[in-house]
Structure 1
Amino acid sequence: MALVPNSEIFPSSFQQYNTFLNENKVVKGTKDAQRVESIGMKIKVAAEKWLNSNGNVGYLKDYKWEYNLVESKEVNAWCMPGGKIVFYTGILPICKDDAGMATVMGHEVAHALANHGQQRMSAGMLQQLGAVGVGVATGNKSEETQQIAMTAYGATTQLGGMLPFSRAHESEADMIGLTLMAIAGYNPDTAVAFWERMASNSGGQAPPEFLSTHPSSSTRIAEIKKLIPQAKAEAAKFGVKFK
């Protein structure tokens, strides 16, 4: 689903990223900041190798990779379309080590490679168009009927479409991310421990899976365990092997 081309999305993404950096405290020159950039570059190189080997030469030509550590207690990291990545300092204790950071970096880079931002924007446009259609269809009804119809439409498209769509993106990013970290030389087995630490950090406060944009921790960890052999097999194609 790509109703908006990257040629339109990337310039806006780069501008928004710069605005965010200007409005937040970017950490520079520290060991952690250097680790974010170093691991990010290794994942980027792994992505190029993987894409090239699968016949996608030149896929990343319009990407402008940038990695920044930002001061925040929030346990999060994200990647904007086109390869603009932010790690919050709050996630570093959960990452624990380079392998943990590579798990997160691989996952976030995977979102960019798979154009998930573009797809979510396109899905949002379709959802808005659908809402317009509901409005037209109920235009001659009472205001109460119109409100009920719009509420039902919103709930149906969110629970039955947008949230599962987002969960599918997260699962795809996990799959690609494991492959990238493995090709970069980080053992994908360590991803399990990272997601277990993330689950412990949430304190069991996560919403039910069907109400979430992310898979439940138990679902995610189970799926990652199944994907690890595949990631190792892909890495082996590039001469990377793990015990």
Structure 2
Amino acid sequence: MKFRILCALLIIFSLTACATSPMGRTQLVFMPDNEVDAMGLQAFSDLKQGKKISQDTKENQFVTCVTDAITREVGGTWEVVVFEDATLNAFALPGNKIGVHTGLVELVDNQDQLASVIGHEIGHVQARHSNERMSQKLGAQMGISLIAAVAAPTTPMGQTAVSLLGVGAQYGVIMPFSRLHESEADMIGVELMAKAGFNPAESVTLWQKMAQASQGAQPAEFLSTHPSHETRIDDLRAHLPKATALMQQARAAGKNPKCAK
């Protein structure tokens, strides 16, 4: 028995790999990125089949304009879909897929506030947070079964797999990113939006609006895996000098998005 456990541990450790996040943090990830991307593609396909997609031309143009400006900073081809959903949510999945809910579009006042959310969600993908979380939670030995599980999202295994991608709430299973991942995505996101020429100060305004919209419904920080609104706002304010300098450099280089809501 002990020998089998030792062998299993040796296999897992042999498959592990150290990576570094965009913020310089050491990560432990061992899921093949192509498998995680395949899961993201399958999950996004299921969402498009199961959720109503907005046909509002102006709404779609606004979201696409903001998203295009930010994704140019990270490269690759990204697909963005606006879903008819009143909740204040957006997400980005491995495989370069982005979903934005109409409720969030209605909440934001301008392009910069939407950019702060899009940048944050892309930050999760850039930092490989889904891969890191799968590596931590499921272990290498379950990797092969994950893609099949995502293809059947209503099964218990499928719900677990999809929730690890960051869209679990769509299937009634909520497994939010950790405080560390959320804070890291905030910092990556505010820098991404600034590099695209958006005003990073609006990220603070956005989270103030989110706090107001929650109307005190958010649990105390120590009971939640997410940073409190106050902590998030304080951290973003502390990062504004660097982000503002990046915005000024971007605008000097001619990057000045004009996305009309």
Normalised to the residue count of structure 1, the TM-score between the two structures is 0.74
1:67-106 deviations in whole A, cap 9, x for unaligned?
1100011111111112211111111232221111111111
Please state whether the residue corresponding to 1:67 is helix, strand or coil: strand
In structure 2, the residue matched to 1:14 is: 41
Identify which of 201, 205, 228 aligns with 1:193: 205
- How many angstroms apart in 1 are the aligned matches of 2:225 and 2:133? 12
Structure 1 residue 19: deviation in Å?
A: 1.2
Identify which of 110, 120, 135 aligns with 1:107: 120
Percent identity for Structure 1 against Structure 2: 38
- How many angstroms apart in 1 are the aligned matches of 2:55 and 2:97? 16
Correspondence 1:85 to 2:111? no
- How many angstroms apart in 1 are the aligned matches of 2:230 and 2:134? 28
Alpha-carbon contact 1:25-1:70 (below 8 Å) kept: yes
In structure 1, the residue matched to 2:50 is: 23
- How many angstroms apart in 1 are the aligned matches of 2:49 and 2:93? 16
Q: What pairs with 1:96-175 in structure 2 (closer than 5 Å)?
A: 96-126=109-139, 166-175=178-187
Q: What pairs with 1:38-77 in structure 2 (closer than 5 Å)?
A: 38-48=65-75, 64-77=77-90
Answer with 1 or 2: which has the greater Rg: 1
Identify which of 189, 211, 234 aligns with 1:222: 234
- How many angstroms apart in 2 are the aligned matches of 1:75 and 1:125? 29
- How many angstroms apart in 1 are the aligned matches of 2:245 and 2:176? 29
Alpha-carbon contact 1:103-1:194 (below 8 Å) kept: yes
Structure 1 residue 201: deviation in Å?
A: 0.4
Structure 1 residue 29: deviation in Å?
A: 4.9
- How many angstroms apart in 2 are the aligned matches of 1:100 and 1:69? 16
For 1:45, the aligned partner's letter is R
How many residue pairs match? The answer is 195
In structure 2, the residue matched to 1:4 is: 31
CA RMSD between the two structures: 2.4
In structure 2, the residue matched to 1:181 is: 193
In structure 1, the residue matched to 2:4 is: none
Correspondence 1:211 to 2:238? no
Query: Gaps (5+ residues) in structure 2?
Result: 1-27, 143-174, 257-261
Please state whether the residue corresponding to 1:220 is helix, strand or coil: helix
Query: Gaps (5+ residues) in structure 1?
Result: 49-59, 130-162
Aligned in 2, Cα 1:210/1:165: closer, same or farther, shift over 3 Å? farther
Alpha-carbon contact 2:200-2:247 (below 8 Å) kept: no
- How many angstroms apart in 2 are the aligned matches of 1:19 and 1:217? 31
For 1:12, the aligned partner's letter is M
